[in-house]
Amino acid sequence: MATKSFVSLIALAAGVEAGAIKQRATSTQPDWFQTSPNNYAGTTATGAAPFLAATNPAPFGEATYVPNAPLETSEPISGANGRNIFHLMGDLSPYFSPSEGFGVKEYPLPKGANITHMHMLQRHGSRYPSSSEGLDTWGTGIQKAIANGAVFKGELEFLNDWSYQLGKEILVPIGRQELFNSGILNYYNYGHLYDNSSKIVVRTTLQSRMLESAENFLAGFFGLDWSKNANILATIDSATTGESACANEASSMFANIAEPISTWQKTYLKDRTEKLRRLTGNYNWTVTDTYHAQSLCPYETISLGYSEFCQLFNYEEWEGFAYLMDLEFAGLSGFMSPTGRAQGIAWVEEFLARVEGHYVDVPAKLTGANMTLDTNPVTFPLDQSLYLEFTHDANIVSVLTAFGLTQFDDFLPATHRPKNQQFSASKLVPFAGRLNIEIITAPHQVSTKRSSKAGSKSIDYVSGTGETKYVHFIQNQRTIPLHSSFSVCEYREDGWCELSTFLKAQKHSLADAQYPYACSGNWTVKGWGSVRDGVPA
């Protein structure tokens, strides 16, 4: 989805050299600028590692809306009535936890039960546009038109003095903050699971924004000295080489979504395009221009703090934008993608191997996993309680698909938004979106009906039953109810599933992904909607 940014690597190398020269030049002086080791830090006693996920008796009652900060997002949007358009930007939404959840409420951990493991899959934070999006080219085109005498009027008047000022691919400041905040949040929730007698292996990629996301997260989780606690295993990102393990992925992904994207763009932006056209003089303003203007709202806001493009669109048009992202992700790596399950199956198999306590034992040709890494105890340790992993939006969607979370397999038509839509790119993969999977051991079966009163933790057990393990999926701090996707998982108010039942259900995931056929088979992309189960039709 992105091309390599060599520039940042060169800049990094240049920075290192400059630093080395400066140090040599000042070597006759004491080292004024050294802060470590530090013998004068004063008292440094640390307290117990928290475990809020286990000790939190919330929810307590009405949630209070907390405005976004530091971005300016309070501009008036026609028809919004207090609703936040920054929750309607698909994968370009700054991080948020969806207030409506995924179908169940959250409950406190019953007294006596333990969270024993947490597996996290975390998306990088807010970034500049990808090289492939064409926004820079659009900006140049607008400036050229102005130089040639185009004059924009009315709501578009600001364009006469506007220029494109965004970078490419790397994290913007709020992206750093999102990951730092996620590290802090995850520390409060799961810090107790870190065993300080050993360093954990954390996985990310060498792509600039991926590596920096992992580093910012770890700085939040452990503090700036995080390298004492974690080793980063950073592999080459296929997004920077264009070489995916799944050969058909790149060729099919964009072919699959081109038609629905174009149809929906022309539909939801028709009226707005006609209105804006009247303000553009001799510049031939098309639906594509309207779409680029709309995309610049999230990108300028996260990059510069505020954007004049946002108010060009009403709330319904932002709902249309969100739906465009839903079409895109369903078709790129969700249930409407022919390689949706295949793209995510390697991580699913890695997760299952860790939960079952063995190395990945499925041949690489069935998953695309890197077996050199996945069978080595140094690079694939099995004894961690915390697995922290960093990835991209499309990968998280593909993992949910490969698990078989059919709650999110709705058919998304190109011509209109369906009712009761479950699959939402904004809710699932905003910037810094994350999946936390908890493994829970309870002394007894936990009642499927949960007591929601704080302080009544002890009445949630089924009497006469023994120790029972559960799995709990949490996407962006909201529970994904496993019974909605797996008929073998009994209906539970808390959305958990018994671990043994869940593992049995997962026995099918590998075959269901059809990795060899999906990734290397000779099939063609058929019309939109022909793919409904994340494998070729």
Ligand X SMILES: *[C@@H]1O[C@H](CO)[C@@H](O)[C@H](O)[C@H]1NC(C)=O
By CB under 6 A, name the one of 97, 441, 445, 501 that touches ligand X: 441
Neighbour tally for 350: CB within 10 Å: 23
Compare residues 177 and 238 and give the one whose CB is closer to ligand X.
Answer: 238
- Quick one: 114 or 447, whose CB is closer to ligand X? 114
Q: Which of 415, 413, 420 is nearest to 532 (CA)?
A: 413
Window of 50-58, 271-279, 369-377, 480-488 that interacts with ligand X by CB under 6 A = 369-377
CB-nearer residue toward ligand X: 95 or 470: 470
Applying CB under 6 A, the span of 12-20, 81-89, 308-316, 439-447 interacting with ligand X comes to 439-447
Total residues at the site for ligand X (CB under 6 A)? 14
Residues 6+ apart with CB under 8 A from 142: 159, 162, 164, 283
Closest contact distance (angstroms) between CB of 524 and ligand X is 7
Task: Report if residue 375 touches ligand X, rule: CB under 6 A.
Answer: no
Q: What angle do CA 315, 318, 321 make, to 5 degrees?
A: 160
To ligand X, the closest distance from the beta carbon of 285 in angstroms equals: 8
Smallest separation (angstroms) from ligand X to the CB of 295: 18
Q: x-or-dash pattern for ligand X, window 95-124, by CB under 6 A?
A: ------------------xx----------
φ, ψ of residue 454 to 5 degrees: the values are: -60, 145
Binding mask 219-258 for ligand X (x = CB under 6 A): ----------------x-----------------------
Q: How far is the CB of 60 from ligand X (least distance, A)?
A: 25
**Nearer to ligand X by C-beta: 3 or 370?**
370
**Closest to 208 (Cα-Cα) out of 154, 247, 172:** 172
The nearest distance, CB 247 to ligand X, in angstroms, is: 12
Stretch of residues binding ligand X (CB under 6 A), selected from 25-33, 345-353, 368-376, 528-536: 368-376
At residue 499's C-alpha, the angle toward residues 496 and 501, to 5°, is 95
Whole-number minimum distance, CB 243 to ligand X, in Å? 9
Spell out, one character per residue from 470 to 509, where the chain touches ligand X: x when CB under 6 A holds, - when not. ----------------------------------------
| Rounded (10°) angle between helices 287-304 and 135-147 | 110
529 in Cβ contact with 256 (< 8 Å): no
Binding mask 284-313 for ligand X (x = CB under 6 A): x-x---------------------------
Do residues 8 and 131 lie in contact, with contact meaning Cβ atoms separated by under 8 Å? no
| Least separation in angstroms between CB 58 and ligand X | 21
Residue (of 268, 254, 285, 322) closest to 84 by Cα position: 322
* 3-class secondary-structure state, position 266: helix
- Residues 130, 131, 143, 370: which binds ligand X (CB under 6 A)? 370
Closest CA to 401 of 318, 331, 495: 331
Q: Are 203 and 390 in contact (CB under 8 A)?
A: yes
Q: How far is the CB of 235 from ligand X (least distance, A)?
A: 4
3-class SS of residue 475: strand
Site residues (CB under 6 A) for ligand X, limited to 115-174: none
Measured distance CA(248)–CA(101) in Å, rounded: 34
C-alpha Rg value of the chain to the nearest Å? 25
**Near ligand X by CB under 6 A, which window of 26-34, 171-179, 366-374, 510-518?**
366-374
| Integer Cα distance of 12 and 206 in angstroms | 13
By CB neighbour count within 10 A (0-12 exposed, 13-18 middle, 19+ buried), where does 260 fall? buried
What residue ranges bind ligand X (CB under 6 A)? 113-114, 196, 235, 284, 286, 370, 372-373, 441-443, 467, 522
